[in-house]
């Protein structure tokens, strides 16, 4: 079955079982334009906004900020409208030779105006995170 990435739902999607898969750089306004308002179903201690997406084949993905907004950092955190770095969550376990899990590739296609950041499993989480953050903030295309 061929999947149309634009054939998805954001209504009443259960994100249970999803976990971190990568990052993307896209504005909050562009996410709202493409996906609608964020869901109320997220960890409001560590996140400020989240979207749960399910395609017609049942695959679920999430987009959320993590520990960079006001809910986690208080006055030092970013306003939701100013967040540009978002985490991607998904259910599938990627094949060893794939650069990105399927959810990441689908979200990149769906959010044509975003930038997907590649992960490197040989680096620690902090090395990946901070190298990707540096790359994102230096990128003038978004």
pLDDT at 140 over 90: no
> Comparing 104 with 66, which gets the higher pLDDT?
66
Count: domains in the chain: 1
**Residue numbers of the domain that contains 49:** 8-138
- Kindly report the length of the chain: 142
Averaged over 46-57, what is the pLDDT? 91
Task: Assess if residue 120 is contained within a domain.
Answer: yes
Distance CA 60, CA 73 (A): 28
Q: Give the separation between CA 6 and CA 26, rounded to whole angstroms.
A: 17
Q: How far apart are CA 31 and CA 125, in angstroms?
A: 25
pLDDT band at 37 (very low <50, low <70, confident <90, very high): very high
* 2 within domain boundaries: no
Q: Is residue 3 part of a domain?
A: no
User: Rounded distance, CA 45 to CA 55, Å?
Assistant: 28
d(CA 69, CA 71): 6
pLDDT of residue 2: 62
- In this prediction, residue 38 has a pLDDT band, given cuts at 50, 70 and 90, of very high
Q: What are the tens digits of pLDDT across the range 78-136?
A: 999 999 888 888 876 555 444 456 777 777 677 765 555 544 444 444 444 445 555 55
- Distance CA(43)–CA(49), nearest Å, equals 9
Residue 125, domain member (yes or no): yes
Tokens 């990052």 locate to 23
* pLDDT band with cut points at 50, 70 and 90 for residue 73: very high
What percentage of residues in the chain have a pLDDT greater than 70?
A: 65
In a domain, 16, yes or no: yes
Residue 28 falls inside a structural domain: yes
């Amino acid at each position: 079955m061929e999947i149309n990435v634009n054939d998805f739902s954001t209504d009443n999607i259960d994100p249970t079982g999803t976990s971190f898969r990568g990052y993307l750089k896209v504005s909050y306004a562009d996410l709202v334009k493409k996906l609608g308002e964020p869901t109320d179903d997220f960890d409001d201690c560590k996140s400020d906004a989240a979207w749960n997406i399910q395609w017609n084949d049942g695959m679920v993905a999430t987009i959320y900020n993590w520990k960079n907004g006001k809910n986690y950092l208080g006055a030092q955190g970013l306003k939701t409208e100013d967040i540009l770095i978002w985490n991607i969550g998904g259910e599938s376990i990627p094949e060893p030779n794939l650069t990105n899990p399927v959810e990441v590739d689908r979200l990149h296609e769906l959010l044509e105006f975003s930038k997907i950041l590649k992960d490197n499993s040989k680096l620690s989480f902090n090395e990946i995170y901070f190298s990707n953050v540096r790359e994102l903030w230096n990128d003038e295309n978004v």
